[in-house]
Amino acid sequence: MTSLPDVEFDGIATTPALPRPEYPRPDFDRSQQWTSLNGLWELATEDAVVPVTVPFAWETSASGVGRTWLERAAYRRSISVPAAWAGNRVVLCFGAVHHEAHVLLDGVQIAHHVGGYTPFEVDVTDLVPAGGEARLEVRVHAPADKRQIPHGKQRSIPRTDYDGVCFTPTSGIWQSVWLEVRGRTYLAHAALDGDQLDGFGLSGELAGDHPAGTRVTARVVAGSRLRESVELTTDNNGRFSGRLLITHPRLWSPDDPHLYRIELVTDAAGSPDVVTLTGGLRRIEVRGEELWLNGSRLYLRGVLDQGYWPGTGLTAPDDQALRHDLQIARDNGYNLVRKHIKLEDPRWLHHADQLGVLVWAEPPAASRFSPAAAQAFEDQLPEMVWRDGNHPCIVIWGLYNEEWGLDWDIPGSPERARAARTAYEKLRGLDESRPIVDNSGWAHVITDLLDWHYYDEDPAAWARNLADLASGTREDFPVRLGADFVVDKSLYANDSHPRQGVPILNSEYGAGFTSLERAWHLRWQTQELRRHDRFAGYVYTELTDIEHEMAGLLDYHRTGKDLGGLDPRDVNTDTVLVVDLVPAAAGADIPVPEAELKLDVHVSHHGGSALTGRLQAGWAPAGHPADLPLPTPDTTSAPVTAHPFQLSDSATLVIAPPRPTSSKRLWIWLLDDEGLVRAKTFVDAGPIEAPNRRGARVTPPAAPTE
């Protein structure tokens, strides 16, 4: 690595409020004795030494640097170990550093890590004595050319194939740095398995002075009044395993996100080591073409989230921002968040555990294929499962996305198809409890969920292609990869992939340029997904805007948009209405009727038992929002019964035309037998006009030839 000037920065005397002060791993809790190393450091580049605020990437304004395309720099600061920590082990921990880090103490290298999204640590007990100080330096290499390293949505120079959907890079230290106390013999890793639903499978490994033949006691300290416990002993390699039974098990689910806190005490010579794990009892299963959670049918109502924030990039500005985004998803009716090609802050996963939000987790990929790039992608997988596998919220592991890092060419390249299969098999060997998606959205080689990404501005084509995908009569769909580059992407990488028996779901969709258009497409496109009982769920793109990308339900600052009176909760709920109608345009689904209007409406119901009620409809002023009372019904249907996960037969509504005959909104709702509104939607009636093309350049006819 290029040497950098060893210059002291004198301006670190004034220390602002500590950024991200919370303990970084609440699911693997050692917060009894620790100290954050976030805050002001000095950053030495090849031409200057400037202050930098950790843990924000040096491209961000929050870091105080705001410099892009800086490839090499060194972070420096002094660290001290309190005298009270004597007799324990002291470990230096890094949440994430992009991309390659060399860690030095007093000029001597003590650690080297490659991989910008995974954590690493180093024992400094013998390097910094209790009561002593040392100079810490982290030398970082963050290549501008990221094409063959895992980088997710970070922009690269040269550009990636998908540069149009990439954002400002994230370089350097971008997650928390801290020191923590551990016992002389300590828990290096522990896994909780709550799939059996009557207790936890426990496994782990010790490190330190006496890892072999040491007793580990696991005891429930929260979540159960009985304080169940079990004693285990490590083998000659320092490993242990066993079961901790729960007397009255309470399962974790989105409706009841019950968590257990389990304290693990390592009883060896010297100071004891205490870690508190968080886990939940839950089982995710694939049964044929269906998903099941804890023995009940599960339909995924998901939203894509890329985890960027204004001014701080991939790092959340504070802990509340992490929780707030999950709450936004819940408030809009989603039960799952697909965290897109990013290993998110562990505290976000902890909040998802607490809030009961299901998570589809996936690592970042490279953008250009080579054997080395595929290996770098696979190298993340053990660390991903090691760090995040205990979270009950994670119900799906994703791997590649749209053949990024595989050159958009799985069907045409056995080598690239083999890379997808190898990644799947490696992850399956690490975790047998969750379904895995090999290549989200496009050609699948080996997968537990058959997902597809499809964007379409034409509601008729959308409805027709969804019906064909559901029936199996169509196995591909159009994908626009450039202004003059449209391809038909197949669901399958080869003819031998099974066409049935695997859950099929959409994992990216959405259309429209303005927020009003996007709300219109959200309503009608989601309706068509719910029309087909074969589908196991969907993931809408996306939760918030990011930089130049304006596809969010909310803008980049998490402010709501004008959705034309739509409440997304009416779209994303257990019970929705499906209208037999291909809408014409936003604000004018149908012409204003001048005579009696007939509409056939179905009910899609994902509750636990059958639902019976009657449909009603009534005219309201144009744009009448969902938060105002429904209009007086003009008509009521015959009784309709919806069975769980079966689209109901249609019920016909006969509606008189509005008076006066002008633009109106027709609200339609389902009133159950107890008089409760269980679902509602609307149809906008307005003038339907051809697109205005006045003033368009017209090519004159060619002159006749002799």
In a domain, residue 194? The reply is yes
The CATH number linked to 216 is 2.60.40.10
**Residue positions counted in the chain:** 706
Cα–Cα distance measured from residue 518 to residue 437, given in angstroms and rounded to the nearest whole number: 27
Amino acid at 266: T
In a domain, residue 63? The reply is yes
pLDDT less than 50: residues of the chain: 1-15
Choose one of 156, 182, 208: the last residue of a domain.
182
Farthest-apart Cα atoms in the chain, separation: 103
Indicate the SS3 state at residue 516: helix
In a domain, residue 706? The reply is no
**How many structural domains compose the chain?**
4
Predicted local confidence at residue 81, as pLDDT: 97
Q: Return the residue matching tokens 């004693």.
A: 231
Cα–Cα distance measured from residue 375 to residue 370, given in angstroms and rounded to the nearest whole number: 9
For residues 253 and 159, membership in a common domain is answered with: no
Tell me the residue range of the domain where 244 lies: 185-270
* Strand ranges in 260-413 using DSSP code E only, listed in sequence order: 260-267, 273-279, 284-287, 290-293, 296-298, 300-305, 336-339, 358-361, 394-401
Distances 371 to 208, 415, 590, 672, 699 between C-alpha atoms, Å: 36, 9, 54, 58, 50
Choose one of 182, 197, 232: the last residue of a domain.
182
The CATH number linked to 505 is 3.20.20.80
In a domain, residue 154? The reply is yes
> Which spans in 532-620 are helix H?
568-571
Predicted local confidence at residue 589, as pLDDT: 97
Tell me the per-residue pLDDT of 121-132, one tens digit each, with 9 for 90 and over: 999 999 999 999
The CATH number linked to 78 is 2.60.120.260
For residues 123 and 225, membership in a common domain is answered with: no
Q: Angle CA(509)–CA(510)–CA(511) in degrees, nearest 5?
A: 135
In a domain, residue 161? The reply is yes
Choose one of 153, 182, 211: the last residue of a domain.
182
Predicted local confidence at residue 693, as pLDDT: 84
Q: Tell me whether strands 300-305 and 336-339 are parallel, antiparallel or unpaired.
A: parallel
For residues 558 and 593, membership in a common domain is answered with: no
For residues 380 and 476, membership in a common domain is answered with: yes
Find out whether 449 and 536 touch, Cβ atoms under 8 Å.
yes
For residues 566 and 590, membership in a common domain is answered with: no
Residue 560: strand pairing partners: 554
For residues 30 and 117, membership in a common domain is answered with: yes
In a domain, residue 678? The reply is yes
For residues 421 and 490, membership in a common domain is answered with: yes
Distances 225 to 194, 243, 244, 246, 671 between C-alpha atoms, Å: 18, 18, 15, 10, 42
In a domain, residue 120? The reply is yes
Distances 619 to 136, 586, 634, 660, 679 between C-alpha atoms, Å: 69, 18, 7, 11, 17
Find out whether 321 and 353 touch, Cβ atoms under 8 Å.
no
Find out whether 376 and 394 touch, Cβ atoms under 8 Å.
no
Distances 332 to 426, 553, 567, 674, 688 between C-alpha atoms, Å: 35, 9, 8, 25, 30
The helix or strand, by DSSP H or E, that contains position 165, with its residue range, turns out to be none
Cα–Cα distance measured from residue 67 to residue 546, given in angstroms and rounded to the nearest whole number: 19
In a domain, residue 414? The reply is yes
Give phi and psi for 183, each to the nearest 5. Answer: -70, 165
For residues 206 and 175, membership in a common domain is answered with: no
Cα–Cα distance measured from residue 310 to residue 315, given in angstroms and rounded to the nearest whole number: 10
Tell me the per-residue pLDDT of 62-78, one tens digit each, with 9 for 90 and over: 999 999 999 999 999 99
For residues 319 and 361, membership in a common domain is answered with: yes
Distances 584 to 363, 371, 563, 688, 689 between C-alpha atoms, Å: 39, 49, 18, 7, 9
For residues 567 and 583, membership in a common domain is answered with: no
The backbone region for 69, taken as left when phi is positive above 0, alpha when psi lies in -120 to 50, beta otherwise, is left
Predicted local confidence at residue 703, as pLDDT: 67
For residues 568 and 588, membership in a common domain is answered with: no
Find out whether 33 and 85 touch, Cβ atoms under 8 Å.
yes
* CA 598 to the chain's CA centroid: 41
For residues 312 and 165, membership in a common domain is answered with: no
Predicted local confidence at residue 261, as pLDDT: 98
